[in-house]
Structure 1
Amino acid sequence: MINEAIEAVEIVIWGAVISFGIVAALTAFLIIALGYWTGVLAVWAGKRIANRIHPAPPAPEPEAELDDELYTHWDAWNADTRKET
Protein backbone atom coordinates (compact mmCIF):
# COMPACT_ATOMS: atom_id res chain seq x y z
CA MET A 1 0.00 0.00 0.00
CA ILE A 2 2.85 2.41 0.76
CA ASN A 3 4.54 1.41 -2.49
CA GLU A 4 1.40 2.30 -4.42
CA ALA A 5 1.25 5.69 -2.70
CA ILE A 6 4.91 6.35 -3.52
CA GLU A 7 4.34 5.36 -7.15
CA ALA A 8 1.30 7.66 -7.32
CA VAL A 9 3.36 10.56 -5.94
CA GLU A 10 6.15 9.80 -8.44
CA ILE A 11 3.65 9.82 -11.30
CA VAL A 12 2.25 13.17 -10.15
CA ILE A 13 5.74 14.64 -9.81
CA TRP A 14 6.84 13.39 -13.25
CA GLY A 15 3.60 14.69 -14.73
CA ALA A 16 4.28 18.11 -13.21
CA VAL A 17 7.88 18.10 -14.48
CA ILE A 18 6.82 17.15 -18.01
CA SER A 19 3.98 19.68 -17.99
CA PHE A 20 6.33 22.41 -16.80
CA GLY A 21 8.80 21.47 -19.56
CA ILE A 22 6.10 21.67 -22.22
CA VAL A 23 4.83 25.01 -20.91
CA ALA A 24 8.39 26.38 -20.74
CA ALA A 25 9.12 25.25 -24.32
CA LEU A 26 5.92 26.78 -25.66
CA THR A 27 6.59 30.00 -23.77
CA ALA A 28 10.12 30.19 -25.20
CA PHE A 29 8.78 29.56 -28.69
CA LEU A 30 6.17 32.29 -28.27
CA ILE A 31 8.73 34.78 -26.96
CA ILE A 32 11.11 34.04 -29.85
CA ALA A 33 8.32 34.25 -32.44
CA LEU A 34 7.03 37.53 -31.04
CA GLY A 35 10.55 38.93 -30.92
CA TYR A 36 11.15 37.95 -34.54
CA TRP A 37 7.92 39.48 -35.84
CA THR A 38 8.49 42.59 -33.76
CA GLY A 39 11.87 42.95 -35.45
CA VAL A 40 10.34 42.41 -38.89
CA LEU A 41 7.72 45.07 -38.17
CA ALA A 42 10.37 47.47 -36.88
CA VAL A 43 12.52 47.06 -40.01
CA TRP A 44 9.49 47.51 -42.26
CA ALA A 45 8.35 50.63 -40.40
CA GLY A 46 11.89 52.03 -40.41
CA LYS A 47 12.16 51.58 -44.17
CA ARG A 48 8.77 53.22 -44.71
CA ILE A 49 9.71 56.20 -42.53
CA ALA A 50 13.12 56.54 -44.19
CA ASN A 51 11.50 56.41 -47.63
CA ARG A 52 9.11 59.19 -46.64
CA ILE A 53 11.96 61.36 -45.32
CA HIS A 54 14.38 60.65 -48.18
CA PRO A 55 12.47 59.32 -51.18
CA ALA A 56 14.37 57.36 -53.77
CA PRO A 57 15.58 59.43 -56.72
CA PRO A 58 13.61 58.96 -59.92
CA ALA A 59 14.91 56.45 -62.40
CA PRO A 60 16.93 58.01 -65.22
CA GLU A 61 15.14 58.31 -68.52
CA PRO A 62 16.39 56.01 -71.27
CA GLU A 63 18.55 57.74 -73.81
CA ALA A 64 16.96 58.39 -77.17
CA GLU A 65 20.18 57.91 -79.10
CA LEU A 66 21.28 54.40 -79.90
CA ASP A 67 24.78 53.28 -79.24
CA ASP A 68 26.83 53.37 -82.46
CA GLU A 69 28.87 50.42 -81.29
CA LEU A 70 25.84 48.18 -81.64
CA TYR A 71 25.66 48.79 -85.38
CA THR A 72 29.33 48.55 -86.40
CA HIS A 73 28.97 44.92 -87.39
CA TRP A 74 25.78 45.66 -89.32
CA ASP A 75 27.50 48.41 -91.29
CA ALA A 76 30.47 46.18 -92.06
CA TRP A 77 28.25 43.32 -93.19
CA ASN A 78 26.09 45.47 -95.44
CA ALA A 79 28.90 47.58 -96.83
CA ASP A 80 28.92 47.84 -100.60
CA THR A 81 32.18 46.31 -101.76
CA ARG A 82 31.75 47.47 -105.37
CA LYS A 83 33.45 50.67 -106.20
CA GLU A 84 31.91 53.11 -108.56
CA THR A 85 34.01 53.86 -111.56
Structure 2
Amino acid sequence: MIGVTRLGIGVILDWVPSGFCRDEQGLVHFNGQKLYEKEEHPNWGTFKFDLSRGQVRSFLVSNLLYWVDEYHADGIRMDGVTSMLYL
Protein backbone atom coordinates (compact mmCIF):
# COMPACT_ATOMS: atom_id res chain seq x y z
CA MET A 1 0.00 0.00 0.00
CA ILE A 2 2.83 2.38 0.74
CA GLY A 3 3.97 2.15 -2.88
CA VAL A 4 0.64 3.28 -4.27
CA THR A 5 0.36 6.16 -1.82
CA ARG A 6 3.73 7.41 -3.08
CA LEU A 7 2.16 7.52 -6.54
CA GLY A 8 -0.57 9.78 -5.21
CA ILE A 9 -3.21 7.06 -5.10
CA GLY A 10 -5.40 7.19 -2.02
CA VAL A 11 -6.14 3.97 -0.17
CA ILE A 12 -9.34 3.29 1.74
CA LEU A 13 -9.38 0.24 4.00
CA ASP A 14 -12.45 -1.95 4.34
CA TRP A 15 -12.50 -2.54 8.11
CA VAL A 16 -15.07 -4.89 9.64
CA PRO A 17 -15.53 -4.22 13.37
CA SER A 18 -19.06 -5.65 13.41
CA GLY A 19 -18.03 -9.23 14.06
CA PHE A 20 -15.55 -12.02 13.64
CA CYS A 21 -15.42 -15.58 12.37
CA ARG A 22 -16.09 -18.68 14.42
CA ASP A 23 -13.05 -20.71 13.36
CA GLU A 24 -10.37 -21.91 15.76
CA GLN A 25 -7.88 -19.27 14.57
CA GLY A 26 -10.29 -16.50 15.57
CA LEU A 27 -11.22 -14.87 18.85
CA VAL A 28 -14.14 -17.14 19.81
CA HIS A 29 -13.65 -18.33 23.40
CA PHE A 30 -10.10 -17.00 23.14
CA ASN A 31 -9.21 -17.82 26.73
CA GLY A 32 -11.84 -20.52 27.21
CA GLN A 33 -14.69 -18.12 27.87
CA LYS A 34 -16.55 -15.32 26.12
CA LEU A 35 -13.83 -12.70 26.16
CA TYR A 36 -14.65 -10.72 22.99
CA GLU A 37 -17.99 -12.01 21.77
CA LYS A 38 -21.46 -10.96 22.82
CA GLU A 39 -23.68 -13.21 20.74
CA GLU A 40 -23.99 -14.86 17.38
CA HIS A 41 -24.96 -12.63 14.47
CA PRO A 42 -28.39 -13.84 13.30
CA ASN A 43 -27.69 -13.42 9.58
CA TRP A 44 -23.97 -13.97 9.06
CA GLY A 45 -22.97 -17.00 11.16
CA THR A 46 -20.31 -14.92 12.90
CA PHE A 47 -20.02 -13.51 16.40
CA LYS A 48 -20.66 -9.88 17.28
CA PHE A 49 -18.13 -8.05 19.43
CA ASP A 50 -19.29 -7.22 22.95
CA LEU A 51 -19.00 -3.45 22.64
CA SER A 52 -20.19 -2.96 26.23
CA ARG A 53 -16.75 -4.15 27.43
CA GLY A 54 -14.02 -1.54 27.62
CA GLN A 55 -11.27 -3.97 26.66
CA VAL A 56 -13.16 -4.94 23.49
CA ARG A 57 -13.58 -1.29 22.48
CA SER A 58 -9.89 -0.70 23.22
CA PHE A 59 -8.94 -3.73 21.11
CA LEU A 60 -10.98 -2.45 18.15
CA VAL A 61 -9.61 1.10 18.37
CA SER A 62 -6.05 -0.24 18.64
CA ASN A 63 -6.66 -2.51 15.66
CA LEU A 64 -7.94 0.36 13.54
CA LEU A 65 -5.05 2.65 14.51
CA TYR A 66 -2.56 -0.11 13.70
CA TRP A 67 -3.87 -0.45 10.14
CA VAL A 68 -3.97 3.32 9.60
CA ASP A 69 -0.51 3.97 11.09
CA GLU A 70 1.29 0.91 9.71
CA TYR A 71 -0.10 1.10 6.17
CA HIS A 72 -0.78 4.83 5.87
CA ALA A 73 -4.43 4.47 4.90
CA ASP A 74 -6.17 7.61 3.66
CA GLY A 75 -9.60 6.54 4.84
CA ILE A 76 -11.65 3.79 6.41
CA ARG A 77 -14.87 2.15 5.26
CA MET A 78 -16.56 0.49 8.22
CA ASP A 79 -18.57 -2.52 7.14
CA GLY A 80 -21.61 -3.83 9.03
CA VAL A 81 -22.24 -0.71 11.09
CA THR A 82 -26.01 -1.15 11.10
CA SER A 83 -25.66 -4.55 12.76
CA MET A 84 -23.53 -2.94 15.45
CA LEU A 85 -26.18 -0.31 16.12
CA TYR A 86 -29.48 -2.13 15.69
CA LEU A 87 -29.11 -5.88 16.29
The alignment's TM-score, normalised by the length of structure 1, stands at 0.24
Flag the structure with higher helix content. 1
Q: Pick the structure with greater CA Rg.
A: 1
Relative to total residues, which structure has the larger strand share, 1 or 2? 2
